[in-house]
C-alpha cells in the first residue's frame, strides 16, 4: 500500500527529494555504482532511472 502512495507522489519508490549541495558528489557516486550494477545485471529499466537521477543531480550541481 505504501508503494502505491509513493508512486502517486513521485516517480518510483525511491526518494527523489533535494540533496544538500555538500552531498551531491557522494550521492552521484552511489548512483553510478548502482547504475553499473544494473547494467551488468541487464536491469535496463532500472539503469535508465538511475541515469536520469544522475542527470538531475548534474543539473542541480551546475
Does residue 46 or residue 1 have the better pLDDT?
46
Domain boundaries, the chain: 17-61
pTM: 0.66
pLDDT per position as a tens digit, 34-54? 999 999 999 999 999 999 999
Q: Residue 20 pLDDT more than 60? A: yes
Whether residue 41 contacts residue 33, with contact meaning beta carbons closer than 8 Å, is answered with no
Angle ∠(42,7,23) on CA atoms, nearest 5 = 70
For cell 548512483, the residue is 31
Q: Which residue has the higher pLDDT, 17 or 49?
A: 49
**What contacts 57, CB < 8 A, 6 or more positions away?**
19, 24, 27, 28, 31
Look at residue 7 in the predicted model and tell me its pLDDT.
61
Amino acid at each position: 500500500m505504501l508503494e502505491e502512495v509513493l508512486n502517486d507522489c513521485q516517480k518510483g519508490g525511491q526518494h527523489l527529494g533535494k540533496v544538500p549541495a555538500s552531498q551531491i558528489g557522494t550521492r552521484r557516486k552511489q548512483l553510478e555504482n548502482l547504475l553499473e550494477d544494473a547494467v551488468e545485471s541487464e536491469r535496463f529499466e532500472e539503469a535508465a532511472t538511475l541515469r536520469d537521477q544522475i542527470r538531475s543531480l548534474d543539473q542541480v550541481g551546475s
